[in-house]
Amino acid sequence: MLRAEGVSVHYGGVRAVDGVDAHLDEGELLGLIGPNGSGKSTLLNALCGVVAASGKVRIDGRPMPLGSPAAARRNGIARVFQVPQTYPELSALENVVVGSHEQGLVGVAGAWFRRRAMWRLERSRCREAMETLEMLGLADVAAAPAESLSYGQRRLVDLARAMVAQPRLVLLDEPSAGLNDSETEHLGGLLRTINRDLPMVLVDHKMGLITSLCHRVTVLDTGTVVADGPPGEVLADPAVIRAYLGGPVDAES
Ligand SMILES: Nc1ncnc2c1ncn2[C@@H]1O[C@H](COP(=O)(O)OP(=O)(O)OP(=O)(O)O)[C@@H](O)[C@H]1O
């Protein structure tokens, strides 16, 4: 459903992503791993249009213009960033509702001429946002301002916001960073459930999470793909072991 061919992002002389071919299949949870600075976040940035990139990306066979966040959104790509992007003074629920505001009626004209329809739409957005928070175990804090939530809760609010945008696929950048073991396990269970309906690309350094969740893993090193395949095979690949500072990759950590 997503196919990237020869995608490159260069910052001056730094080839952050260099001619990457990658794909995501329907229903798949794809792990994207690699040592620090190997280009994982930059590749996600290219796919969601927030950096200038060259190459080709197709969604369901249709070409998608690169370098345009609006085009990426139109093509159903949602991104959850490494650092929570919540509005501190808005409630958790309001933070999630914001994610669905590009759909349907918006703007002054909609409010003025179609007031009833607009309120109906607002109610259905709130209901959907609330159901998503419930699904992620955040119903109790729906009314709390985001600034009062824990780091892990704010990351889940970001995930909920991405989900209500009704994406075709979600790009997740290190969702387990800063979470303890039990929070990471809880997150893993949620991602497995969400993946029943949504294909995802998961960037993470916790190999236990990657091996327990991902159907396939793509490995980057210095901006290029060095391995791609089932997690067990990929982590035993000599090129991957070399990329990770010459040592074996610990699938448990
Ligand atoms: N805005 C930028 N300007 C210049 N260089 C950048 C910029 N963003 C990233 N880079 C460089 O691009 C390379 C890839 O960085 P990137 O953050 O994509 O790696 P990563 O694999 O996501 O790393 P990590 O696992 O530490 O998050 C690195 O050499 C980084 O220093």
Residue 39 CB less than 6 A away from ligand 1: yes
What mean pLDDT comes out for the span 3-31?
96
Alpha-carbon Rg of the chain, whole angstroms?
A: 19
Q: Residue ranges of the domains in the chain? A: 2-76+167-245, 88-150
Write down how long the chain is: 253
**Residues of the chain by 3-state class (helix, strand, coil), percent to 5:** 40, 25, 35
Fold that domain 2-76+167-245 belongs to in CATH? Rossmann fold (3.40.50)
pTM: 0.89
Complex confidence, ipTM = 0.96
User: Ligand 1 centroid to 38 CA: how many Å?
Assistant: 7
- Could you tell me the pLDDT band of residue 242, with boundaries at 50, 70 and 90? confident
H-helix segments, the chain:
40-47, 69-74, 92-97, 107-113, 115-135, 151-164, 181-194, 207-213, 231-235, 238-243
Q: Is the CB of 16 under 6 A from ligand 1?
A: yes
Distance in Å, CA 197 to ligand 1 centroid: 31
DSSP annotation of 25:
-
